[in-house]
Amino acid sequence: MKKRDFLFALCVITVAISAFFVIKMTVKDADTVRITVDGRLFCEKPLSTDCVIDINGTNTAVIENGSVYMKSATCPDKLCVHQGKVSDSAKKIICLPNKVVIEVIKRTDIDTVVK
């Protein structure tokens, strides 16, 4: 390996670490689960209330004890199911085949939009 190889590796690691901290810094106490399908808002639910959400029959999300996880999905790889529980805004559950994104966000507004 050459010197410039290491330089490149160092650059990538530096960018990755700074990006990691930028993402971590934007973490806020979240209270709302927002589910988007294909870039459009599907529903928003409070994180404090346990419930089961059926997303267009393709995915099932579960809110339980202040965190949200994907219980089942129709896609073959099931990556979204394996992504586990999410309770802060730094993590997201993404199901690429079904274009489903589950985020946990901060919503101080009194009303939540429930579809």
- Cβ-contact 63, 53 below 8 angstroms: yes
Residues 58, 83, 87, 112: which binds another protein (CB under 8 A)?
83
Q: What does the alpha-carbon distance between residue 91 and residue 66 come to, in Å, rounded to a whole number?
A: 14
Compose the 22-61 pattern: x for residues touching another protein by CB under 8 A, - for all others.
-x------------x-xx----------------------
Smallest distance, Å, CB 39 to another protein? 3
Count interface residues toward another protein (CB under 8 A): 31
Encoded amino acid at 54, one letter: D
Q: What does the alpha-carbon distance between residue 40 and residue 55 come to, in Å, rounded to a whole number?
A: 12
Residues 28, 74, 92, 113: which binds another protein (CB under 8 A)?
92
Q: What's the angle, vertex CA 115, arms to CA 73 and CA 28, rounded to 5?
A: 75
Alpha helices in 34-112 (DSSP H): 79-82
Q: Which is nearer to another protein, 63 or 98 (CB)?
A: 98
Binding region for another protein (CB under 8 A)? 1-2, 4-5, 8-9, 12-13, 15-17, 19-20, 23, 36, 38-39, 77, 79, 82-84, 90-92, 94, 96-97, 99, 101, 103
